[in-house]
Amino acid sequence: MNDLIKKLVEAYGPSGFEDQMRDLIRPEIEKYADEISVDAMGNMIALKKGKGKGGLKVMIAAHMDEIGLMISHITEDGFCRFTNIGGIYPHTLMGSRVQFADGRIGIIYSDRITDRSKIHGLDKHYIDVGASSKEDCPVKVGDAVGFVRPFLAQGKMLSAKSMDDRIGCVIAIEAMKRLKKSPHDIYFVFSVQEEVGTRGAQAAANMIDPDVGIALDVTLAGDTPEPTPIAVELGKGTAIKVKDTGMIAHAGLVRLMKKRAEEADIPYQLEVLTGGSTDARSIQIANGGAAAGCISIPCRYVHSQSETVHADDVENSVKLLVEILSKPIEL
Ligand code: CO
Ligand code: ZN
C-alpha cells in the first residue's frame, strides 16, 4: 500500500483545486467501479452496484483536498502575501516549501521577528518564488499552493503532509479492490473542499441521498507529550467515531461497526473528538437525513506537514470497512 500512499500524499490538491488528485485516483479505481462520474463541484463518485436482496444505498466519503494557501496580493518587490485554505497554524510555516499547480516551488518566511516567544499571524508571512518585482512575478493573485514534503515510512510509522485525508482515499481504494460481494449499492465519493467546511460531501450526499453514510478521515491521537486529550492512540486499532464537534454518530451504526469489528477480531478504539468534524456531518444532515458515522484513522500532528499514522491502523480500517460493506446493514 505504501506506493499508493506515497503517490497520493505527495500530490498537489488544495481545496477547490483537486483536479490532479482526480487524475491520480481514477486509474486506481476504474477496474472496480461500475460507473464513475464527476459532479459540478469536482467530487468523483464511483458506484459499485450491489447484488442480491436487502441492500441499502451507502455513501463512503474520503476527501481528496488538502489544506493550503492562496496568494492574496503581491508586493512591489515580488513577494507573495497569502491567506489560508482550511486550518493552517502559522507556527508550522517558517521555512516550509510549497508547490503551485504547475509544479513551481516557493519558500515561506515571515517579516522580522523581534520577540522570539511570539509568532506572526498569516498576514505577516509571505512566499518567495524568486521574483524581483511584481511585474516579473510568475504567480498570480488567486493561485493556490499545497505543501511539499516527501512521504516517510519508518517501520510502521507513516508521515506525510496530507495524510488528512489521502490516507482515507487509500483506504477507500483498497476497500474497492478487496470487496468481492455486497448487497449494497455503494457510492465511493472522493470528495472536494472538506477542509473549508465539508462542502463537497454535502453536494454529493444531496444528490446520492444515501440511507447510510460513512466518512473515512483522520482523528487526533492523544499519545504524545501534553496532547489534546483524546482516548485514541496510534497503533491501537481503527477508531469508530462516537462524537465530534459537528455530529453525534448514528448510535445503531456505531453499534454495528463495533459488532463487525468484534466478529472479525479487528482492534478498534472509540473516538470522542472535542475539536473538528468530517464529511460524515454533511452526509448526516443532507436531504431527509442519513444514518452516518465515521471510520477514523488515529493521526499525530494533524494539519502539520508531518501528519503521522500507523500502518496497522490503516490496515484495520480497510478490514472494518470491508466487513461492514460485505454484509447486511441492520440499524
Ligand atoms: Co483536515
Ligand atoms: Zn480530513
Both 56 and 77 in one domain: the answer is: no
**12 in any annotated domain:** yes
Decide if pLDDT at 215 tops 90.
yes
Output the CA 220–ligand 1 centroid distance in Å: 10
φ, ψ of residue 310 in degrees (nearest 5)? -110, 130
CA distance 293 to 135: 50
Is 94 within a domain? yes
For residue 295, what pLDDT is reported? 98
Please report which confidence band the pLDDT of residue 213 belongs to, taking 50, 70 and 90 as the band edges: very high
- Known catalytic membership, residue 194: yes
CATH number at residue 269: 3.40.630.10
Q: Give tens-digit pLDDT for 73-109.
A: 999 999 999 999 999 999 999 999 999 999 999 999 9
Of 278, 287, 283, 277, which is closest to residue 202 (Cα–Cα)?
283
278: pLDDT strictly greater than 90: yes
- The CA 20 to ligand 1 mean position distance, Å, reads 19
Residue 84 and residue 136 in one domain: yes
- Give pLDDT tens digits for 113-172: 999 899 999 999 999 999 999 999 999 999 999 999 999 999 999 999 999 999 999 999
One domain for residues 172 and 317: yes
Which pLDDT band holds residue 277 (cuts at 50, 70, 90)? very high
Residue 156 lies in a domain: no
Residues within 5 Å of ion ligand 1, judged at the Cβ atom: 164
The average confidence (pLDDT) of the chain is 97
In which band, very low, low, confident or very high, does the pLDDT at 199 lie, cut at 50, 70 and 90? very high
Number of independent structural domains in the chain: 2
Same domain, 165 and 215: yes
Q: Indicate if 178 and 43 belong to the same structural domain.
A: yes
6-21 pLDDT tens trace: 999 999 999 999 999 9
CA dihedral of 251, 256, 258, 263, whole degrees rounded to 10: 170
Based on the fold, state whether residues 34 and 174 are members of the same structural domain: yes
Residue 245 is which amino acid?
T
If asked whether residues 168 and 189 sit together in one domain, one would say yes
Domain stops at, among 83, 118, 147: 147
Structural domain of 309: 2-66+161-325
Claim to verify: residue 25 and residue 113 sit in the same structural domain = no
Q: What residues pair up with 63 in beta bridges, in sequence order?
A: 191
Q: Quick one: cell of 255?
A: 453499534
Looking at 10, 18, 174, 194, which residue is catalytic? 194
pLDDT digits (tens, 9 = 90+) for 279-319: 999 999 999 999 999 999 999 999 999 999 999 999 999 99
Write down the pLDDT at residue 90: 96
Confidence check: pLDDT of 52 > 90: no
Query: Last residue of a domain, which of 147, 181, 209?
Result: 147
Q: Does residue 243 lie in a domain region?
A: yes
Task: Return the pLDDT at 276.
Answer: 95
Instruction: Please give the distance, rounded to the nearest whole angstrom, from the Cα atom of residue 64 to the centre of ligand 1.
Output: 11
**pLDDT beyond 90 at 53:** no
Distance separating the N- and C-terminal Cα atoms of the chain: 32
3-state secondary structure (DSSP) of residue 208: helix
Ligand 1 centroid vs 30 CA: distance in angstroms? 27
**Ligand 2 center–CA 322 separation, angstroms:** 21
- Which pLDDT does position 54 carry in this prediction? 86
Q: How far is the CA of 118 from the centre of ligand 1 (A)?
A: 25
Mean pLDDT of 232-261: 98
pLDDT(275) > 90: yes
Helices (H), 10-139: 19-29
* Whether residue 125 sits in one domain with residue 201: no
Q: Report residues near ion ligand 2: CB below 5 Å.
A: 164-165, 217
* Residue 330 is assigned to a structural domain of this protein: no
Give the number of whichever ligand sits closest to the CA of residue 280.
2
Question: Last residue of a domain, which of 147, 170, 193?
Answer: 147
Residues present in the chain in total: 331
- Cα 160 to averaged position of ligand 1 atoms, centre (Å): 13
Number of neighbours of residue 72 by Cβ within 10 angstroms:
14
Residues 75 and 171 both lie in one domain:
no
d(CA 304, ligand 1 centre) in Å: 10
Q: Are residues 87 and 204 in the same domain?
A: no
- Band of the pLDDT at 240, cuts 50, 70, 90? very high
Q: How many CB atoms lie within 10 A of CB 229?
A: 9
Surface-to-core class of residue 188, CB atoms within 10 Å of its CB (0-12 exposed, 13-18 middle, 19+ buried): buried
For 122, other C-beta atoms within 10 Å of its C-beta total 17
Mean pLDDT of 177-190: 97
Report in angstroms the alpha-carbon separations of 250 from 126, 150, 166, 212: 43, 37, 25, 9
Residue 305 within any structural domain of the chain: yes
Q: Do residue 135 and residue 17 come from a single domain?
A: no
CATH number at residue 98: 2.40.30.40
Distance CA 108, CA 293 (A): 37
Cell output for 14: 488544495
Residue 210 lies in a domain: yes
Q: What is the mean pLDDT of residues 200-227?
A: 98
Q: Is 152 a member of any domain?
A: no
Q: Are 84 and 69 in contact (CB under 8 A)?
A: yes
Q: How far is CA 121 from CA 93, 109, 118, 127, 307, in A?
A: 11, 12, 10, 14, 22
